[in-house]
Amino acid sequence: MEKIIKRTEVFEHTCHQKKKRILTNENWFPAFNDGTVEVSLHVDRKYFQKTFTFGPPIDYRVAVWGIDDFGLEMSFSTFCDANDMFERIVNLTTQETLQAWGFGPA
């Protein structure tokens, strides 16, 4: 358990997101000009406007987006689970596969 906590803390303090591009053969309304979509992992936090601070992580989200307004996303309670899914998404992963894994409209 401690390794997961340390890994999460490193993620939260050093890089609040991960991004990569994967090749696609599908229409993501549309895909990027080079035939790719963007896969991202980021943490959602509550922002406290009065104190200008962020609270603890609410959840970790993996999202796949084309260049415009179509995307699929999935939330996770731990960074490790989200990162495992982020790494699982590789070139030519289809929208149907993402939906079978539990992704829904963003």
Give the whole-angstrom CA distance, residue 6 versus residue 101.
Answer: 27
Residue 81 dihedral angles phi and psi, to the nearest 5°:
-65, -45
Q: What is the pLDDT of residue 9?
A: 37
What is the span of the domain harbouring residue 70?
A: 2-105
Give every CB contact of residue 53 below 8 A, 6+ residues apart in sequence. 47
Q: What is the pLDDT of residue 49?
A: 67
Count of the separate structural domains present in the chain: 1
At 50, is the pLDDT very low, low, confident or very high (cuts 50, 70, 90)? Answer: confident
Tokens 């829904």 correspond to 104
% of the chain at pLDDT higher than 90: 59
Q: What Rg do the C-alpha atoms of the chain give, in angstroms? A: 15
At 11, is the pLDDT very low, low, confident or very high (cuts 50, 70, 90)? Answer: very low
Q: How many CB atoms lie within 10 A of CB 66?
A: 19
Question: pLDDT tens digits, residue range 59-77?
Answer: 889 999 999 989 999 999 8
The model's pTM is 0.77
Q: How many CB atoms lie within 10 A of CB 43?
A: 19
CA 59 to chain centre: 11
